[in-house]
Amino acid sequence: MKIAILGGTGDQGPGLALRWAMAGEEVIIGSRAAEKAEKVASELNAELGQTKIRGLDNVQAAAAADIAVLTVPYSAHLPTLESVKAQVQGKIFIDVSVPLDPENPRKMKMPAAGSATEEAQAFFGDATKVVAAFQNVAAHLLRDPTHAIDCDILVCGNDVEAKKVVMGLVSKMGMHPYDVGPAESARVVESLTSMLIRLNIKHKVKGAGIHLTGLPR
Ligand SMILES: NC(=O)c1ccc[n+]([C@@H]2O[C@H](COP(=O)([O-])OP(=O)(O)OC[C@H]3O[C@@H](n4cnc5c(N)ncnc54)[C@H](OP(=O)(O)O)[C@@H]3O)[C@@H](O)[C@H]2O)c1
């Protein structure tokens, strides 16, 4: 499967790219600037000793991929959705965005749609299947593929088949996915991140995560 990570040059994108490439997926790093994407892709390939990752600008990356993943700050959410709307029609779109309050990252500043995920689904329309995932896992944990990640991945969205595909991709990275319901559940999933940030600050750690219990694994 070809997976484009839009804004994949920052903190959250490279770890996803590394882990999917290690699992045998073809990964495209996206950026507003193709050269920046190529540079990050070649650094990741060097780290892996392979060539499964390439770099393109976000629009070309979305066009070339079967699945697009969005890892940009929430302030860039709508502009980035607008820039790739045509290219992601009919595809699965994984939204990793967390609408933190820019004035205080311990708090959420949810959009009128209810969550970033619902905002993306409403913006694209039903032809694009938006799935929320990876909001609760810290970038530096993803970025170190030698370590297993001690965090469950909550997956939500309105299309059951799309969620199954995303859950398969989560499992390939060695993490446990749970289908936690429709896109509306993203209000909770995205908000959990501000709680984890509070816990990180309180306990002077960087990688607080979550585990669901009492369920089959
Ligand atoms: N970092 C984490 O630990 C973490 C954990 C869970 C969820 N998340 C969520 O994942 C998303 C990405 O987080 P991140 O930490 O990876 O973000 P980031 O490093 O700050 O930015 C990621 C990329 O977004 C692009 N970008 C930045 N400003 C932009 C703008 N104004 N317009 C368009 N593109 C812009 C940049 O790529 P180019 O310059 O190459 O275009 C940048 O490299 C956020 O919504 C965050 O809440 C992050």
Specify the pairing of strand 129-132 against strand 153-157.
antiparallel
Residue 115 has pLDDT above 90, yes or no: yes
Q: What is the DSSP letter of 169?
A: H
List, for residues 117-137, the tens digit of each pLDDT value. Answer: 999 999 999 999 999 999 999
Pick the closest to residue 68 from 141, 126, 135, 120 (CA basis).
Answer: 120
C-alpha–C-alpha distance, residues 206 and 211, integer Å: 16
Determine the distance separating the centroid of ligand 1 and the alpha carbon of 80, expressed in angstroms: 11
Sign of CA dihedral 65, 66, 72, 78: positive
Nearest ligand 1 atom to alpha carbon 58? 41
Ligand 1 first shell, C-beta below 6 A: 7, 9-13, 31-33, 36, 71-76, 79-80, 96-98, 100, 135, 138-139, 193
What mean pLDDT do residues 204-214 have? 96
For residue 98, the CA-to-ligand 1 centroid distance in Å is 10
Bridge-based pairing of strands 100-101 and 104-108 is antiparallel
181 phi and psi, to 5 degrees?
115, -160
Strands 177-179 and 153-157: parallel
pLDDT tens-digit readout, 81-111: 999 999 999 999 999 999 999 999 899 999 9
* pLDDT band per the 50, 70, 90 thresholds, residue 27: very high
Distance (angstroms) between ligand 1 centre and the Cα of 73 equals 4
Best probe residue, ligand 1, of 5, 6, 12, 143 (max atoms within 8 Å of C-beta): 12
Query: Residues of the chain with pLDDT > 90: what percent?
Result: 96
Q: Show me where the domains of the chain are located.
A: 2-203
Mean pLDDT of all residues in 201-209: 97
| Per-residue burial over 99-125, b = 16 or more CB atoms within 10 Å of its CB, e = otherwise | bbeeeeeeebebbebebbbbbbbeebe
- The pLDDT score that the predictor gives to residue 216 is 87
Structure confidence by residue, pLDDT tens digits, 128-187: 999 999 999 999 999 998 899 999 999 999 999 999 999 999 999 999 999 999 999 999
The second-level CATH assignment, the architecture, of 2-203 is 3-Layer(aba) Sandwich (3.40)
Q: Which of 57, 59, 72, 78 to mutate to test the pocket of ligand 1 (most atoms within 8 A of CB)?
A: 72
Q: Residues 48, 33: contact at Cβ < 8 Å?
A: no
pLDDT higher than threshold 90 for residue 1: yes
How many residues are present in the chain? 217
| Chain centroid to CA 190 | 11
Is 217's pLDDT higher than 90? no
- Claim: this prediction has a pTM higher than 0.95: yes
**Which amino acid, residue 79?**
P
What is the pLDDT at residue 61? 99
Residue nearest to atom 33 of ligand 1 (CA): 76
Ligand 1, residue 40: give the atom nearest the CA.
Answer: 40
Could you tell me what percent of the chain has a pLDDT over 70?
100
- Our measurement of the distance from residue 135's CA atom to the centroid of its chain's CA atoms, rounded to an integer in Å, reads 7
d(CA 82, ligand 1 centre) in Å: 16
d(CA 41, CA 30): 9
Q: At what angle do helices 12-22 and 160-172 cross, to 10 degrees?
A: 80
Average pLDDT, the chain: 97
